[in-house]
Amino acid sequence: MNSISVQARKPHRKLTEEEKAKERRKQKTRPYFMVAPAMFFLVVFTFFPIVYLIVLSFFKYNLISKMQFLGVDNYVRLFTVETTFGVALRNTAIYTISLIVLLIFLSMLLAIWLEHSSILNAIAQRLMFLPHLCATLTVAVVFQWLMNDEGMLNAMLRFFHLPALRWLNSSDTALMSIILISTWKSLGYYTLIMLSSLKSIPTELYEAAALDNTGPVRKFFKITLPMVSPQLFFLLITITIGSFKVFDTVRIITEGGPGDSTNTVVLWIYNKAFSGTIQVGLASAAGVVLMLIMAILTGFYFKALNNKIYYQ
Amino acid sequence: MGEIKLENICKSFGTTKVIENLNLTIKDGEFAVLVGASGCGKTTLLRIIAGIGPATSGNLYIDGEEVSDLPPGERDIAMVFQNYAIYPTMTVRGNIEFGLINNKVPKAERTKLVEEVAEIVGLTPYLKRKPSELSGGQRQRVALARAMVKKPAVFLLDEPLSNLDAKLRGAMRSELIELHQRLGTTFVYVTHDQTEAMSMADTIVLLDKGAIQQIAPPSVMYHDPDNVFTAQFIGTPPMNIMPLGEKFLGYRPERVALDHAYGDGFYRKAGNVLTREMLGSETLYKVALENTVGSDGKQAEIMVKSADWKFKVGQACEVYVDKDDLYFFDSAKKRIREKENETVHRECMDMINRT
Amino acid sequence: MVQTSVKKRHRKAYRINRTVKKVLSIFGRCLICLIFAFPFYWMIITSLKTYQESIQNPPTLWPQVFDLSGYVTVLTKMNLGMYFKNSIIIIIAVMAIQMVVMVPASYAFAKYDFKGKKLMFAMVLVANMTPTVITFIPIYIMFAKMNIGGRKILTTLWPQILPFGANAFGIFLLRQSFMQIPEEIIEAARLDNTSEKGIMFKIMLPMSKATMATIALFSFVANWNAYFWPLVMCRTEEVKPIILAIASLKELEVGLIWPTIMAGNTLVVLPILILFAIASKKIIASMAYRGVK
């Protein structure tokens, strides 16, 4: 019947016990070889730096002379002598909270609004998403130009007989302006994430709700919101971590100013580590503080909200 | 209370017309089954009644009142979806009382109603559970309970049993029939399964490509079909149809006797067994008939369902069908009945005699 | 039964409500399009104006005279070719290393069982959440002390490539994608005497094309737009990638010459715009429509 296959196969000889054991050993060690390069990179470029950062935070170091052990001095300084750190921390907190509220609220709203398939919606979705793909530098610089005292935004305000704003040039409005820029850049991305989440809700649920005589508000809170809760949670964490890292925009257009109104934690750390009197130890301590804040916040989010999320 | 009247209903999806000028009245308290193949428009029709997929034109009356412009939640109807559509983030209790809360039913009454209904469908021990913790059958009961608790004038059911395994399906079928008898509400039930339709319906509405083929109780559908489509849709296997001159002749596989007649054996043909399927109490044969042309122009092949299991493949045999078991259809595939059209009917009988 | 009068009121309100809503919603949507399109328009338009016109008050919506001096300045006074080359090399090198590192790791996490797997994968997740702003100081110090091929490593492009070798995010995504490949296909391949390497590259990767495209897209965008990391690592002009170079346009000429700055930014955004114009749907689909943890 199957004369072809019989001839094509090589004669199969039996493996010796030694060869079998070798093969088994190979099987067992293979996965370790497979993950080794990745683990190597992760240890060298993520975990070791974390440890090193913590170590550095207990020293005084200016990249040239020898390191000096300080104990917890740097940490004490952060919260007493270095008042600008407190300001940077406060600014970062305001920035983060503002972005969380603005982005989650607006992205949810816009996602619902733009959900329906139409040409106008498709254009709007694409235009909203584009800023996310662009460099923060570009967005920052363009808005710096728009927010110029003689720039387009003030021109538009004057056109509508509204008072011109000082935007980035006043310590009262600078942080707000930065928040606006960041919202503009990221809103599209988060809106589209929420949009895809909304689209995954089976229409049947809404039909059943219609038959149950459900009003729009109740429909949102009892059906839509619970069904998108995983994505909302993801957004919360992503926006929080992303906001605490804010650096590019403030460095490029305000350099922390005017005054210290747009100084943020990462900018503060960067400046302490690379400009003026280099204080790597102090900067590292601040880095550790930042890391702890992010870890605690994330942990808090999980603890507090985990049972409110509907996992599918 | 729950009479449904569809008047000149048309429905198009974009430029495609799926239903054109459909008229249908479902009597109050009736168990009506909309049945047909996929895409025939039965679910579309159900959704028109529900208001979740409104008609493009036409009028809909529930209990004499025009409801076409009413939102679904105010039509006094309830629907059980094919995939249940129960709210996954709420408990069973939450699911059932959701509509009641929307209709501002006070808490005490709500609790009473929910517990009543839960008792009827057997969900009382599960009220605190979430849908992800329930089996398919339990989820279906939640969908049912949610519909029942509203005490609607009309119950709409969209293939509610199709997602259940065979055993559960049979059990749920009888439960639904019992429920209907108990509540007396109008039931509009959609299914593609003709067995389900036959066993559950007071009235069957058979649909094909958006048009009604026949409206009749199950026995009438089976014994007295209006057209070839109906004749072949109802019954497993479907009725054997073959050309008779310009008209068509049909008879059911279970009414074909092999080698001897049941009764008068008015129709007699010689044949050859092509295939044989042992079903248990009956055997299904495919028989090629000599000197007979089938619907495809080639030699006629008919299905025979017989209690006689002794025929082998390739064996020659004779098929007999009694006069009363013969059905005639005109060239437009509409039924020719003796009472309505005596002359034509006699012509057909004569044609049988001659061949 | 619902009262007839209530129903009549509902029906009328229902219909008026719908038209008003429709008009408002179209207007609103156009407003949104304007809000997001205008800054881009403004950037391009400014880059085509003369300096004098660009600082005019009130600003002109359309250039009176089209002037390309902004672009000329950027293209002549800057060694754009070098910066562009740096960015491309970085992007390609990072992708190449990631391929070699990510694919076996993801495969192992997805389809193998070994001691320590849980711990190691947890490490991947933690690394995914650890931002570069935490690790930059120690890594910089590390690199500052290292030499490669006789020169300080900081004068090469390596500091911008190596730290991104293990793309934790990529490992996470790819593992998910691999996990969805049915075991039977792999078993069939094994029966056909395919080596593990063969399985990885001939079966699992081709079936994960969409995920690979997503990872490549994220990687490309991140490395093309990189500012912070190059800022920390580049101490010489020769290793600067393109965004960092464009950032220094402000210092190029005396005062803020907006047409020049806008011209530089337009050029740097151009590849992204072209990519987006071609494949916007796919880009959005892979970046925003992934399953979320």
Q: Which residue has the tokens 């719908």?
A: C18
Whether pLDDT at B219 is above 60: yes
Task: Give all chains having 3 or more CB-to-CB distances under 8 Å with chain A.
Answer: B, C
Q: pLDDT tens digits, residue range C171-223?
A: 999 999 999 999 888 888 888 888 888 888 888 888 888 889 999 999 999 99
Mean pLDDT of chain B: 91
Q: Answer whether A78's CB lies under 8 Å from A85's CB.
A: yes
Mean pLDDT of chain C: 87
Whether pLDDT at C3 is above 60: no
Q: Are residues C88 and C189 in the same domain?
A: yes
Q: Across residues B59-85, what is the average pLDDT? A: 90
A31 preceded by cis ω (within 30°)?
Answer: no
Residue C192 within a domain: yes
Name the DSSP letter for residue C225: S
Distance (Å) from the alpha carbon of A259 to chain C's nearest alpha carbon: 21
What's the CA angle centered on B257, arms B253 and B258, to 5 degrees? Answer: 110
The pTM assigned to this predicted structure is 0.85
Q: Answer whether C75's CB lies under 8 Å from C268's CB.
A: no
Q: With an 8 Å Cβ cutoff, are B69 and C11 in contact?
A: yes
Nearest residue in C to B151, CA atom: C1
Residue C74 within a domain: no
What does the block give as tokens for B67? Answer: 């409801």
Whether pLDDT at B10 is above 60: yes
Task: Note whether B114 contacts A: Cβ–Cβ < 8 A.
Answer: no
Nearest residue in C to B62, CA atom: C1
Distance (Å) from the alpha carbon of A245 to chain C's nearest alpha carbon: 7
Whether pLDDT at B307 is above 60: yes
Q: Across residues A256-280, what is the average pLDDT? A: 90
Task: Note whether A195 contacts C: Cβ–Cβ < 8 A.
Answer: yes
Residue C49 within a domain: no
Find the domain containing C206 and state its range.
79-251
Distance (Å) from the alpha carbon of C4 to chain B's nearest alpha carbon: 9
Nearest residue in B to C10, CA atom: B70
B3 neighbourhood in chain C, CB within 8 Å? none
Which pLDDT score is estimated for A63? Answer: 81
Q: Answer whether A97's CB lies under 8 Å from A154's CB.
A: no
Give dist(CA B94, CA C3) in Å, integer: 28
Q: pLDDT tens digits, residue range B33-55?
A: 999 999 899 999 999 999 998 89
Q: With an 8 Å Cβ cutoff, are A31 and C32 in contact?
A: no
Q: Are residues C145 and C11 in the same domain?
A: no
Backbone dihedral angles phi then psi of residue B187, each to the nearest 5 degrees: -115, 130
What's the CA angle centered on A81, arms A78 and A82, to 5 degrees? Answer: 55
> At B280, is the secondary structure helix, strand, or coil?
coil
Q: Number of A:C CB contacts under 8 A?
A: 231
Parallel, antiparallel or unpaired: strands B316-321 and B257-258: antiparallel
Whether pLDDT at B85 is above 80: yes
Q: Number of structural domains, chain C?
A: 2
Q: Are residues C242 and C110 in the same domain?
A: yes
Tell me what ipTM this predicted complex has.
0.88
Residue C41 within a domain: no
Q: Are residues C16 and C104 in the same domain?
A: no
Least confident of A182-191, A287-296, C154-163, C201-210: C201-210
Q: pLDDT tens digits, residue range A130-178?
A: 999 999 999 999 999 999 888 889 998 998 999 988 999 998 899 999 9
Strand-pairing partners, residue B271, are: B289, B317
Q: With an 8 Å Cβ cutoff, are B70 and C11 in contact?
A: yes
Higher pLDDT, A220 or C194: A220
Give Cβ neighbours of residue C63 (< 8 Å, ≥ 6 apart): C45, C48, C49, C50, C53
Q: Answer whether A49's CB lies under 8 Å from C135's CB.
A: yes
Whether pLDDT at C9 is above 70: no
Which pLDDT score is estimated for B265? Answer: 83
Q: Are residues C133 and C19 in the same domain?
A: no
Q: pLDDT tens digits, residue range A1-43?
A: 444 444 455 556 676 788 888 888 888 888 898 999 999 999 9
Q: Are residues C207 and C140 in the same domain?
A: yes
Q: Which amino acid is at B126?
A: Y
Residue C223 within a domain: yes
Which pLDDT score is estimated for C10? Answer: 64
Q: Are residues C17 and C133 in the same domain?
A: no
Domains of chain A: 15-56 (no CATH), 73-308 (1.10.3720.10)
Give dist(CA A234, CA A237) in Å, integer: 5
Q: pLDDT tens digits, residue range B156-185?
A: 999 999 888 888 888 889 989 999 999 899
Q: Are residues C179 and C242 in the same domain?
A: yes
Q: With an 8 Å Cβ cutoff, are B71 and C10 in contact?
A: yes
Q: pLDDT tens digits, residue range C30-82?
A: 999 999 999 999 999 999 988 888 888 788 888 888 888 889 988 888 888 89
Q: Across residues B278-291, what is the average pLDDT? A: 91
Q: Are residues C244 and C125 in the same domain?
A: yes
Distance (Å) from the alpha carbon of B76 to chain C's nearest alpha carbon: 7
What does the block give as tokens for A139? Answer: 């967005």
Residue C209 within a domain: yes
Residue C240 within a domain: yes
What is the 3-state secondary structure of chain A?
Answer: CCHHHHHHCCCCCCCCHHHHHHHHHHHHHHHHHHHHHHHHHHHHHHHHHHHHHHHHCCEECCCCCCCEECCCHHHHHHHCCCHHHHHHHHHHHHHHHHHHHHHHHHHHHHHHHCCCCCHHHHHHHHHHHHHHHCCHHHHHHHHHHHCCCCCHHHHHHHHCCCCCCCHHHCCCCHHHHHHHHHHHHHHHHHHHHHHHHHHCCCHHHHHHHHHCCCCHHHHHHHHHHHHHHHHHHHHHHHHHHHHHCCCHHHHHHHCCCCCCCCCCHHHHHHHHHHCCCCCHHHHHHHHHHHHHHHHHHHHHHHHHHHHHCCCC
Q: With an 8 Å Cβ cutoff, are A38 and C105 in contact?
A: yes
CB atoms within 10 A of CB A249: 26
Q: Across residues A249-257, what is the average pLDDT? A: 89
Is the Cα torsion angle C228, C230, C233, C235 positive or negative in sign? negative
Residues making up chain B, counted from first to last: 355
Q: What is the dihedral of CA C169, C173, C179, C185, to 10 degrees?
A: -120
Q: CATH number for the domain including C94? A: 1.10.3720.10
Give dist(CA B55, CA B41) in Å, integer: 12
A-interface mutation test, from B87, B144, B146, most A Cβ less than 10 A away: B87
Whether pLDDT at C4 is above 70: no
Q: Are residues C176 and C237 in the same domain?
A: yes
Q: Are residues C27 and C116 in the same domain?
A: no
Q: With an 8 Å Cβ cutoff, are B79 and A208 in contact?
A: yes
Residue C65 within a domain: no
B79 neighbourhood in chain A, CB within 8 Å? 207-208, 211
> At C25, is the secondary structure helix, strand, or coil?
helix
Residues making up chain A, counted from first to last: 312
Task: Note whether B266 contacts A: Cβ–Cβ < 8 A.
Answer: no
Q: pLDDT tens digits, residue range A58-81?
A: 998 888 888 888 888 889 989 998
Task: Note whether B10 contacts C: Cβ–Cβ < 8 A.
Answer: no
Of chain B, the percentage scoring pLDDT greater than 90 comes to: 63
Q: Are residues C85 and C150 in the same domain?
A: yes
Burial of B6-15, coded b for 16+ CB within 10 Å and e otherwise, reads bbebebeeee
Give dist(CA A145, CA C55) in Å, integer: 10
